[in-house]
Structure 1
Amino acid sequence: MDFLGHQKILILKSRFFELYDTNLINENYDIIIHEALKAIQEVFDAAEVTLYTSEEWDVSWTIVSSTEKKDRIGKTISLMEDVSLACEHKFCRSPIKDDSVHDYMMLALKGKEKEKVDHILAIKIQKKLWDNPIEENSLFDDVGKEVGIFFRNMQKMVDITKDKKKYKQLFKVTEKFHSSMMMEDVLREVIFTLKEVYPSYHYYLLLSHDNNSPMDLPVKDLEYDSENMAAMEAYVTAKLQFENLKEDKNSVIYAPLKGKQGVYGVLQIIVPGVISFPKNEVEFISLLANTAGGALENAQLYQQSKKLVADLQLINEASHQLNSNLRLNEMMTYICERISASFDAKEVGFILFSLENNSTTVLLGSSSFFFEHESRQYIDYFKEKIQIEKDSLFLGDFSMQLEGTQYKSIMAVPMMQTGILKGFAIVMHPDAYHFSFDTFKLLQSLIHHSTLALTNSLLREELEKMVVTDHLTKLYSRSYLDEKIQRSLMEDKEGTFILIDIDDFKLINDTYGHQIGDDIIIQVANIIKDNIRSSDVGSRWGGEELAIYLPKVPLSLGVTIAERLVKKVRENSRPSVTISCGVSYWNKLSEDTYNTLFKRADKALYIAKETGKDKVIIQNTLLVSE
């Protein structure tokens, strides 16, 4: 190479040196490339200088920059023969068709640490300027070296600038990760960071089914199938996985979002138009995924701790309420409402077992559904299962066991007390897999704490009922009847009292024995219970005498009820017996007391017995008003 050639190389190096501007690199790298091509054009008096690059997936070459028209940038052309020659000899001279004045000098340029030529520099020069092939080859050999050095240095500076920006972004996002305890915020920051750093990439968050993520984020369920083997491998092994999709001309990395206790998902990043994932991006993506995984773990642990606190508060509050001497109905209403609200349940029921006849009883306070006929298939199924297994049942899709069922998500927990199975609680929802396993464990704990209070309440009410109930007839005791009449006289506007006596009862005892006599009393008591309302009070007055008080009932209706009872006893008792009834009545306009009400009914009963029995006699006192 002659002195002129050396001078040109020095000038070119000087021009290149002036382009080492960090601020310009940060703002617009394309301007630097264009200025470098102009420097080559001016130093070598070239008609045109164009830089081409090749896509890894294709053999075509795309114009990166040119000293000619800007609208040429991005266009793809074929330079196969010239490129092959340039790649082999570093450069070559290519005649331009139908141009006797100019040639193209093609220089092959390799990127950093690459064996493959990824850039071609085409310099359009006049033929007359290059008459000495030896000098020409030597000069363009040095030009190729200097241009290659310049581009590699520029690329290093660009990479450093990008890395600085990336890691600055990583530092910022790490601060945000650790300032938030919400999983949704962490996921949003991951996506935002990827958009900032890799605007041309595509990315998805592959999360397990137990993570509830916002719908506006690029989130997919992590599923085990043949199309997601790499993603599942990353999730299981907690290691980066790579995938090259030749048909789609994409390269994919799967980065596990891992914390210290496990993997919480996989970050999928798709790079379009490359054969293999860029190695210089792997470290940053790995750091981002690990940081995000740690933040997700912290957020999840925080949410779990909050849920545990809420669960403990629920159990503590429920235990406090259940042990505050609530009535059974109040207790069942409270606990069913709490379960329904806390577990987002559609139906909640408490089913008691009867040890005598293997039947079931639905406790009041349960959802209305359990008092309907449609509930029997659920109650019978879980009754049988729990009686055999004596363990809780957690079904995500009940339709797999019983087709055509309305409710699919079901939890059933046995109520055990001192080793005895008392019944079970059942919680249902129409959607499959609606309840989580954590919810199931909480329900078990809640039912365990509730069973003792429920059993105590049942025993207390049973004891209270025994105190106010006649042992033989199961009617109310006389003391309970007295209390109800006294209260009615103060609170109600009217009421009817019926005093009943079984006719010739001594003869029945003498004829059939006292056991049959007791059975007759029970038969009459059962007829009374079948023919009065739940608000009415049927009582054993003493011996073979029974009584009924009908609060808020006028005399005419009371007499009708008494006459119906006389007829029912005559027709349905075995052996057949009859009864006599004395009826008295009061209202607010009369100055009645408990004693006067009883005396009038007793006198009416006496008259019924003396005038033929098997009849109803009404009080003979003139009423002021009915």
Structure 2
Amino acid sequence: MRSMTQLLYELKTLLINQMDDSKGRMEDTSFFEKFVLEICDAFYADEVTYFKLDYGRKYLHIEASTERYLERRYIPLGSCAVFNDGELYYYKDFQVEALKDFQLYLPLKRENGIVGLLALKEGIPGSFEQITSEEGEAFSKEVLKILNAAIYMSEITSERRRYKQLFRVTEKFHASMSMDAVLGEIISTLQEVYPSFTYFLLLSHDNANHENLPIKDLGYDSENVAVMQAYVTGTVQIEDEWTARKTNLYAPLKGKQGVYGVLQVIAPNARMFSEKEVEFISLLANTAGGAFENAQLYQQSRRLISDLQLINETSHKLNLNLRLSETMEFMKEQIMDSFHADEAGFVYILPDGTANFLAGSTEFFHSDRSGLYVDFLKEKICSTMESLFIGDLQLKIPNKDVKYRSMMAVPMMESEQVHGFALVLHKDPYYFSFDTFKLLQSLIHHTSLALANSMLREELEKMVITDHLTGLYSRSYLDEKMLESMEKDHEGTFILVDIDDFKKVNDTHGHQIGDDILIQVSMIIQSSIRETDIGARWGGEELAIYLPNFSIHVGQGIAQRIQEKVSEQTEPKVTISCGVSYWTKGHKDHVKALFKRADDALYVAKNTGKNKVLVQD
């Protein structure tokens, strides 16, 4: 066995050479590995392991060992009764259950107690018996001096590197207004300083689309109290997972206005965090929390500006006196583009409680499948007059087949009355954020008056061009549309309708029944023609129909069908006579001539038996 003096000399030489090779930085653990190898050779031992003591958490842990395959072990001081009085013996007959494989223990003591332990496994039987207590104690003191010097240099080096990284990353934080950039810098800095650790960012707000960042949602988990404790209290929490052989550190990402998440740092093999490491990670997390808050506030301000621009642009557009169909089409496009919705609809509630979809709603709302959503919303919105924000509609109506699970609905109100509501849907649950919901509320609130004005304007226009009794168009509107058709279409058919013996109906049944007969005939006409056709009140008991792009044969067939329905469906029963005229492209013609030919045909029909349809010569 080498002498103690010679061994100490070689250990000091090893420290100096290590400092020289690493230029005083002592950034790696190679010194401690070489250190235990030297002692192992000097004592002819099978194994030498250097245990370091963590006073704060009362554990011994392996700092270096000649057995490289050894997993890092932690030995709680409670299992070592001799630690209770602050002393640890190095006699070969000292046995601790967790250290029973070793035969010699050299305690490393300072004035305030034990700081570590060298444990040696005997290689040659009886070789450790030559070491006296005095020699062992003197050797331990000198070894501790060497280790203290190495640890001190290593700590200075590590601390300098850590704070240099902290300074660098702080500069980057203040230069960036991107939340992704801030979060990325946290992870890259920790990976550079502690490459063997694992990291996760547990964030409390909506944080989607962070590419290549280890981010998890911060949700309450009763099995992970330490995470919530760090988030709620704003203080660092440390927990050991012995079965998983790891230690977790949770540092809150704290800004001036609150805590935005938690940084989770996982040390493998249950490695304990030193006070310096905890301090550094806390500083990094606090710095990052402030930068994250600034970046979030900046992005919120940009989003608010964008929202205000959207509201301003929409309000300006709606105040241009657009037609209702143009207004609703524009609103639909704005909502679909801004909210990335699957469907957008606008429901107008009639005085009798019937719900109609306005033009501009997506195709889905013109199908029967939309009834599920409208029925669910109409009662709630009309009774509460409040907006609805539903993350998963399936939970509200579990017995129904719900295709669109995310829903936002905002009432369209004017003079404290609900006139309808805007409805936005998406297939995925919890797709819309609450900020999106607030934006939709603002958008509908700022545009409700313009929408109401647009609807009232169209109602007024309809009143001007509509006969109030029959609901058919006025004669002036018919003239205007026929003139337009004769300029752009290829052909058209005009039908002039007269109720036979209408004066007799008035004389027999009264003018009220006469008006009712006019209404009945008008309803039959409206149900027999297309939306693009025009039914009008010509004057008195005479009505007119114009069919753009219909040939004379088709027009005659429609007139005959109306004639038959009137004789079958009116009460009291009446009949009609019809005169039919037409025009085609390429023949010189005009509206008055078309009227004249139909009127001549009607005259013949009235004077040849009535209740018939006659076509122009």
TM-score (norm 1): 0.85
CA deviation vs aligned residue, 1:106-163 (integer Å, no higher than 9, x gap): 64335897625333478999999x99x8xx7656544332221111011011000001
Question: 1:33: Cα distance to partner?
Answer: 4.9
The sequence identity of aligned pairs, in percent, is 49
- TM-aligned CA distance change 1:40 to 1:229, over 3 Å: closer
Cα separation, 1, equivalents of 2:176 and 2:561: 76
Q: Which amino acid aligns with 1:368?
A: E
1:300 aligns with 2:301: no
CA contact (8 A) 1:258 1:290 kept: yes
Which residue is 1:531 aligned to?
528
CA contact (8 A) 1:500 1:582 kept: yes
Q: Among residues 342, 357, 360, which one is paired with 1:365 in the alignment?
A: 360
CA contact (8 A) 2:33 2:64 kept: no
- TM-aligned CA distance change 1:272 to 1:115, over 3 Å: farther
CA RMSD in angstroms, aligned pairs only: 3.5
Please list every run of 5 or more consecutive structure 2 residues that lacks an aligned counterpart in the other structure. Answer: 94-102
Q: Among residues 371, 389, 400, which one is paired with 1:376 in the alignment?
A: 371
Cα separation, 1, equivalents of 2:396 and 2:478: 51
1:149 aligns with 2:145: yes
Question: 1:444: Cα distance to partner?
Answer: 0.8
CA contact (8 A) 1:62 1:74 kept: no
Which residue is 1:469 aligned to?
466
Cα separation, 1, equivalents of 2:116 and 2:424: 68
- TM-aligned CA distance change 1:38 to 1:470, over 3 Å: closer
Question: 1:31: Cα distance to partner?
Answer: 5.3
**What SS does the aligned partner of 2:322 have?**
coil
Cα separation, 2, equivalents of 1:63 and 1:24: 22
Q: Which amino acid aligns with 1:590?
A: H
- TM-aligned CA distance change 1:567 to 1:281, over 3 Å: same
- TM-aligned CA distance change 1:292 to 1:611, over 3 Å: same
Question: 1:427: Cα distance to partner?
Answer: 1.2
**What SS does the aligned partner of 1:315 have?**
helix
**What SS does the aligned partner of 2:207 have?**
coil
Deviates more, 1:396-405 or 1:46-55: 46-55
Question: 1:594: Cα distance to partner?
Answer: 1.7
Q: Which amino acid aligns with 2:255?
A: G
1:189 aligns with 2:185: yes
CA deviation vs aligned residue, 1:241-281 (integer Å, no higher than 9, x gap): 12122333433221111111111111112223447532221
CA contact (8 A) 1:582 1:617 kept: yes
TM-score (norm 2): 0.87
- TM-aligned CA distance change 1:379 to 1:38, over 3 Å: closer
- TM-aligned CA distance change 1:155 to 1:124, over 3 Å: farther
1:118 aligns with 2:117: yes
Report 1:186-265 matches (<5 A).
Answer: 186-208=182-204, 210-212=206-208, 214=210, 216-265=212-261
CA contact (8 A) 1:64 1:74 kept: no
CA deviation vs aligned residue, 1:305-346 (integer Å, no higher than 9, x gap): 111111111101111111112111111111112112211211
Q: Among residues 270, 279, 284, which one is paired with 1:288 in the alignment?
A: 284
1:568 aligns with 2:565: yes
- TM-aligned CA distance change 1:262 to 1:442, over 3 Å: same
CA contact (8 A) 1:9 1:143 kept: no
1:346 aligns with 2:347: no
1:175 aligns with 2:171: yes
1:324 aligns with 2:320: yes
**What SS does the aligned partner of 1:266 have?**
strand
Q: Among residues 418, 423, 426, which one is paired with 1:426 in the alignment?
A: 423
- TM-aligned CA distance change 1:610 to 1:28, over 3 Å: closer
CA contact (8 A) 2:36 2:65 kept: no
Q: Which amino acid aligns with 1:21?
A: M
CA contact (8 A) 1:396 1:434 kept: yes
Cα separation, 2, equivalents of 1:463 and 1:534: 20
Q: Which amino acid aligns with 2:586?
A: L
Question: 1:392: Cα distance to partner?
Answer: 1.0
CA contact (8 A) 1:85 1:91 kept: no
Q: Which amino acid aligns with 1:307?
A: R
CA contact (8 A) 1:583 1:618 kept: yes
- TM-aligned CA distance change 1:140 to 1:312, over 3 Å: same
CA contact (8 A) 1:213 1:219 kept: no
Cα separation, 2, equivalents of 1:468 and 1:248: 81
CA contact (8 A) 1:410 1:426 kept: yes
Q: Among residues 389, 409, 413, which one is paired with 2:384 in the alignment?
A: 389
Q: Among residues 142, 158, 167, which one is paired with 1:162 in the alignment?
A: 158
1:53 aligns with 2:54: no
- TM-aligned CA distance change 1:108 to 1:427, over 3 Å: same
CA contact (8 A) 2:499 2:541 kept: yes
Which residue is 2:592 aligned to?
595
Cα separation, 1, equivalents of 2:325 and 2:519: 29
1:64 aligns with 2:65: yes
Which residue is 1:608 aligned to?
605
Deviates more, 1:497-506 or 1:585-594: 585-594
Cα separation, 1, equivalents of 2:282 and 2:27: 28
**What SS does the aligned partner of 1:480 have?**
helix
Which residue is 1:458 aligned to?
455
Question: 1:523: Cα distance to partner?
Answer: 1.4
Deviates more, 1:537-546 or 1:22-31: 22-31
CA contact (8 A) 2:26 2:154 kept: no
Q: Among residues 489, 492, 495, which one is paired with 2:489 in the alignment?
A: 492
**What SS does the aligned partner of 2:142 have?**
helix
Which residue is 1:519 aligned to?
516
Cα separation, 2, equivalents of 1:558 and 1:41: 113
Q: Which amino acid aligns with 2:181?
A: D
Which residue is 1:98 aligned to?
none
Q: Among residues 492, 498, 506, which one is paired with 1:509 in the alignment?
A: 506
Which residue is 2:262 aligned to?
266
CA contact (8 A) 2:72 2:271 kept: no
CA contact (8 A) 2:227 2:250 kept: yes
Cα separation, 2, equivalents of 1:431 and 1:251: 37
Please list every run of 5 or more consecutive structure 1 residues that lacks an aligned counterpart in the other structure. Answer: 66-71, 95-103, 621-626
**What SS does the aligned partner of 1:204 have?**
strand
CA deviation vs aligned residue, 1:437-484 (integer Å, no higher than 9, x gap): 111111111111121111111111111111111111111111111111
How many aligned positions are there?
592
- TM-aligned CA distance change 1:123 to 1:228, over 3 Å: closer
- TM-aligned CA distance change 1:40 to 1:423, over 3 Å: closer
CA contact (8 A) 2:105 2:118 kept: no
Cα separation, 2, equivalents of 1:200 and 1:111: 31
Question: 1:168: Cα distance to partner?
Answer: 0.8
Question: 1:183: Cα distance to partner?
Answer: 1.6
Which residue is 1:21 aligned to?
19
CA contact (8 A) 2:493 2:548 kept: yes
Cα separation, 1, equivalents of 2:40 and 2:217: 55
